Amino acid sequence: MSSSRFPTEEQSSELGHYAMDRVGDIELDQLLEDEGASTQEPERSASAISPPAKVVSGITLRLYISHFLSTWNSRVFEFGAVLFIAEIFPGTLLPVSVYAVVRAASAILLSSKVGRYIDVNDRLKVVRGSIGKSIKECSP
């Protein structure tokens, strides 16, 4: 075999689709020759070794818990709303379907505008404003 890294067209046609005497880019002949020469492992630098995985810190754990609870709340509301509408209109699923379509369509149509509003404005103020508005809506 040639000592070049890639086989020539002639060698490729002889070998067929797969080159069976190659491991990666190194020929087996080279592996057998090098096996007797040295058996030492190459040294690894300290930067090549990745640090051990960090234990989740308290604030990160709180963030994960907050995200989980927020997602849980959203899913429970979606499920509960459908059940309430089905209870109000017991003979048909049309109102439930209309609710689902309107909710999905509004998410599709308004998500771009809401995202642009959040990107253009100061995010902290937007979050504080949305929390303040939701608190005002809930208070009597």
Mean pLDDT of 35-56: 57
Largest CA distance in the chain: 86
79-92 pLDDT, tens digit per residue, is 999 999 999 999 99
The H or E element containing residue 79 is helix 58-88
19-31 pLDDT, tens digit per residue, is 444 444 455 555 5
Among residues of the chain, what percentage have pLDDT more than 90?
A: 41
Tokens, residue 33: 């020759």
* 11 pLDDT tier (thresholds 50, 70, 90): low
Residue with the larger pLDDT of the pair 46 and 70: 70
- Find out whether 1 and 29 touch, Cβ atoms under 8 Å: yes
Domain boundaries, the chain: 92-140
* 125 pLDDT tier (thresholds 50, 70, 90): confident
The CA distances from residue 104 to 89, 93, 109, in Å, are 21, 17, 9
Closest residue by Cα to residue 114 from 127, 132, 97? 127
